[in-house]
Amino acid sequence: MKIGIIGLGYVGLPLGLQFARSGVEVLGLDIDQSKIDVLNAGGSFIEHIPAANVKEQVDAGRFSATVDFARVKEVEAVLIAVPTPLNKNREPDISYVLKSGEAIAPHLPKGITVVLESTTYPGTTDEPLREVLEKGSGLKAGVDFHLAYSPEREDPGNPDSKVAIIPKVIGGYTPACLEKAMAVYGTAIKTLVPVSSCRAAEATKLLENIFRGVNIALVNELKQVYAAMDIDVWEVINAAKTKPFGYMAFYPGPGLGGHCIPIDPFYLTWKAREFDQSTKFIELAGEVNTAMPMYVVHQTIEALNSMKKSVNGSRILMMGIAYKPNVDDDRESPSYHLLDYFSERGGELDYYDPHVPVIRPSREHPHWAGKKCVHWNKETISSYDVVVIATDHKKVDYAELAQWAPLIVDTRNAMKGIETKPGQLWRA
C-alpha cells in the first residue's frame, strides 16, 4: 500500500512515520518547501521527533515528501491533517481543509480513500469537503471514491503517547467507506473504533477536547476562589486525586494553549447555532479560560507592588513560551497573551524557554517573531524585576531560579518543594 498525508506538522509527520514503520510507503505533501527539504534529507523540524526516526524511513524508501499535490494519483489513500484555526471573529476557518481538497481533487484516481483528520465541526467531511472533492474530480463519494473522518489523537511531549497504540476512531460516509478506511488504518494502528458516520467521529473529537476545556476552566475558577480563602488549590487537587473512583485530576494554569483546547469548543458552539441550540456551559468555560492570563497579570502587579514597583518600567522575564511542558509547540500559547498584556502596560519583556530558542512567525502574534531566548545564568536572571513561570519545563533548574530571581510569580506550581525567601514567591 502507498498512502499520502497532507500536512506534515505535529499530527501528519508522526502519523506518516508510524505508517512507514509498518511497511506502508508514505508520500508526505505540504506547501512548505523548507519542510520538504528537511524531511527528504532525513531531518526533523519538531523537537520531540528525532531526526534519526525520519532518516530511518527515508533511507528505507518508505517515506518521501513533496509539494506536488498532483502525485496523489500514485496513492491508494490520502489523509488530510492540516490546521483548522479560528478567524479574527472567533469563527471556524476550514479554508486549509478545503484548499487541500481543491488541490487533490483533479488528480484523484477512482477507488482512492480520502480521510480527514483535522478537528472540525460535525458535517465538514460529508458536506463542504465532499462537495469540493466531487466538484474538482467529477467523481462521486461513496461510489467512485471512499470518504471518511478519523480524528487525530496526538499528545506531544508525552512519552507514553504512541501513535500505534492510541485507539483510532473512524467514521465513514457509507459503510463501504468505513470498511476501506478501517483497512487503511489497520495496517499501522492496533485498535480501531468504528462509529456510525463521519459526523459521529467529528463529534467524538470535539467531546474529548471540550471535556478537557470545561474541567480546566473549573480548576482555574477554583484556583481563584481558594486563593481568596488562603487555600492552596494544588494541595487540594493532589488530595482529591487519591480517590480511586469518580474523580479525574485537572490542573490550573495561566490560560489554555495548543491547537486543540482553546479552539475546538468554538467549532461546536458555532455549528450549534445553525440548529438553534445554545452552548452556555461550553461558552462559560471558554470565558473563564480566556480570562486567566489577565488574572496572572493582576497577581504580578500585586507582586511588584509588594516591592514598591510598577509594571511600567519593570524588566519582566516570561519563563516558557511553549504551551505545555517539555515541547517546542507554542501554538495558541497563553504566554503570548501575557507578553502582550505586560508590554501594553509598559513592561520590558524577555523570555526563557530551552525548547524555543527563537520565536517563530505566527499569524496571531507576528510582532514577537524573531525574539531570542535569553541565556540562563545568574547575571541574566537576577537582572529582572520579576520572573513569571508560564510553562514548567523539566529542563529548568528551579532551585537556581529561587537563588537568582528577586521575585517569582508561579502559575504552574513549578516551585513546589523549592526553598524561597519570604515574599519572593507569588502564586497566580
Catalytic positions are 260
The β-bridge relationship of strands 168-172 and 146-149 is: antiparallel
- What is the number of other CB atoms lying within 10 angstroms of the CB of residue 268? 22
CA–CA separation, 43 and 53 (whole Å): 9
φ/ψ of residue 309, rounded to 5: -130, 160
Give the CA count within 13 Å in the CB-facing half-sphere of 331: 15
Q: Residue 245 and residue 321: Cα distance in Å, rounded? A: 35
In angstroms, the CA 130 to CA 152 distance is 19
* CA gap 115, 186 in Å, rounded: 14
Which of 39, 48, 43 has the alpha carbon at shortest distance from 160? 48
Residues 2 and 76 sit within 8 Å (Cβ to Cβ): yes
Say if residue 341 is exposed, middle or buried (CB neighbours under 10 Å; 0-12, 13-18, 19+): middle
Q: Which of 378, 381, 377, 360 is nearest to 369 (CA)?
A: 360
The pairing of strands 408-410 and 386-389 is parallel
